[in-house]
Amino acid sequence: MSLNFLLGVREVSCLSAGSRRRPQHLPSVGSRGPRLQPQPPRSLLRGRTLRVGGRQRFRLAALAKRDERQQDDVAVTPSSLLPLASNAVSDIWELDFYSRPVTGADGKRLWELIVCDRNGSFVHVEAFPNNMVNSRELRRALEALIAESSVKPRIVRFFRAQMRNMIQIALQNLSGVQARPSRRTYALFLTLAFRERYVYPQMPGYEGAPIGAGVRGQRVDGALSESIGSMLKGPVDLKVPKRLPDELQGDRFAFVNVPMKDVAALSATPFGELCPISLSEKSMDLELQMRAPAELVAQQGAALNIAAPDPDALVPGIVVYSRRSLPLAAWFSGTELAYITADDQRREVYLECGLDVAYLFARIQPSLETEARAFNQAKRETHGLHFLAVQRHPEDESVAGFWLLRDVEYL
């Protein structure tokens, strides 16, 4: 499948790790921009639609035959909004253990353990009394959950820095399980966004309306509440961006766009990962979670698709060109890249990785300011979706790496 990037681009050289000079402009590659022409296996071209069956306290034993490594025969749905979703349970799980904006009869905050896999195939929600908020009880709950699952977790991602010690102690010595601090917990963010908008406000003791995390300091109604947004989206000047490591250096880069409906084909690249697009009514079990009248369920259920762009929407991204594209893509796969920020005030591009690392990727020359603003605007229109691609040359017919990312500030 040939994917044509539709945004006219100007390639520029990447910022050298050992140099503070501004990158030099290279000749334009043409009004149509570079072409990425991946050649995925035929099975990937059939497309996938989201078919999930998770719910609160969902018993994973029911998923015994849904292994991520198995191929599912799913009919093509041309109008599907969710071409990247899989109903297979992944061995990469996502975890959050924290208090919620709900106060119980005892005057203490509600604590919840929320676990899902990176595909959003299941969601497990479990309430904890305050006197059981410790690593021992967390480990006990995780052991019970893992015992019920036929697909054991290999990696457990978590994004809350203040819970790092407790989570790592709880996961310590669990056979074959690696705790990984990361902001690539996209399915978990969707779950939390859903619960903070539609579940917690229905519960007795709810502490007021969610506070919008904002878009670069601007309030946005309906955004993730302060409990998530304030720690994920701190101003750049509160942390010093690090120099981009030599192994992550490319030769040139370009701002590009690709149609949402064509992104799924890029899953066949040697390196990369695609974030889930949205959740479904089945995965969240609306009537159970919301305890809402039946006539409200359909109306509020439609709101779950706010994170899913139209199939014809253009997803913005950055392509890094490098003569060593495969090694470069391999190095990127180990960074836990979460999202890309184009700061039009500082005129710099940052790669946000891991739990709290920001790498200075490049400086935005005046001639690229329009492209950088268009990149940010497109991120808003796609609810934060964007991508990083690694390619040897604009005319190559293969892509070495492709990561579909989400900036949760735009959820």
* 60 pLDDT more than 60: no
Cβ atoms < 10 Å from Cβ of 389 = 28
Q: What is the 3-state secondary structure (H, E, C) of the chain?
A: CCEECCCCCCCEECCCCCCCCCCCECCCCCCCCCEECCCCCHHHHCCCCCCCCCCCCCCHHHHCCCECCCCCCCCCCCCCCCCCCCCCECCEEEEEEEEEEEECCCCCEEEEEEEEECCCCCEEEEEECHHHCCHHHHHHHHHHHHHHCCCCCCEEEECCHHHHHHHHHHHCCCCCCEEEECCCCHHHHHHHHHHHHHHHHHCCCECCCCCCCCECCECCCCCCCHHHHHHHCCCHHHCCCEECCHHHCCCEEEEEEEEHHHHHHHHHCCEEEECCCCCCHHHHCHHHHHCCCHHHHHHHHHHHHHHCCCCCCEEEEEEEECCCHHHHHHHHCCCCEEEEEEECCCCEEEEEECCCEEEEEEECCHHHHHHHHHHHHHHHHCCCEEEEEEECCCCCCCCCEEEEEECHHHC
pLDDT at 214: 37
Quote the tokens at residue 98: 């924290």
Task: Please compute the mean of the pLDDT values over residues 235-250 and round it to a whole number.
Answer: 82
| Of the listed ranges 130-134, 200-204, 217-221, 228-232, the one predicted with least confidence | 217-221
Q: What are all long-range contacts of 8-11, with beta carbons under 8 Å and residues at least 24 apart?
A: 8/32, 8/33, 9/33, 9/34, 9/254, 9/255, 9/256, 9/371, 10/254, 10/367, 10/368, 10/371, 11/252, 11/253, 11/254, 11/321, 11/394
Task: Please compute the mean of the pLDDT values over residues 147-152 and round it to a whole number.
Answer: 91
Task: Please compute the mean of the pLDDT values over residues 378-396 and round it to a whole number.
Answer: 94
Quote the tokens at residue 28: 């334009």
pLDDT at 205: 93
pLDDT at 87: 65
pLDDT at 256: 95
Task: Please compute the mean of the pLDDT values over residues 350-366 and round it to a whole number.
Answer: 95
* 278 pLDDT more than 80: no
- C-alpha span between 60 and 89 (Å, rounded): 9
- C-alpha span between 221 and 69 (Å, rounded): 39
C-alpha pair distances (Å), 195 with each of 4, 100, 115, 299: 37, 10, 13, 15
Domain boundaries, the chain: 3-43+240-275+301-410, 46-190+282-288
* 360 pLDDT more than 50: yes
pLDDT at 285: 57
312 or 386, which is more confident? 386
Report the CATH fold assignment for 46-190+282-288. Answer: Nucleotidyltransferase; domain 5 (3.30.420)
* 176 pLDDT more than 80: yes
pLDDT at 298: 53
| Of the listed ranges 85-99, 338-352, 382-396, the one predicted with least confidence | 85-99
Closest CA to 396 of 40, 35, 39, 41: 35
What are the tens digits of pLDDT across the range 95-118? 999 999 999 888 999 999 999 999
Task: Please compute the mean of the pLDDT values over residues 263-269 and round it to a whole number.
Answer: 84
Q: Kindly state the percentage of the chain with pLDDT values over 70.
A: 64
pLDDT at 409: 86
Closest CA to 326 of 383, 396, 384: 396
Ranked by mean pLDDT, the top range of 122-126, 261-265, 328-332 is 328-332
pTM of the model: 0.76
pLDDT at 49: 21
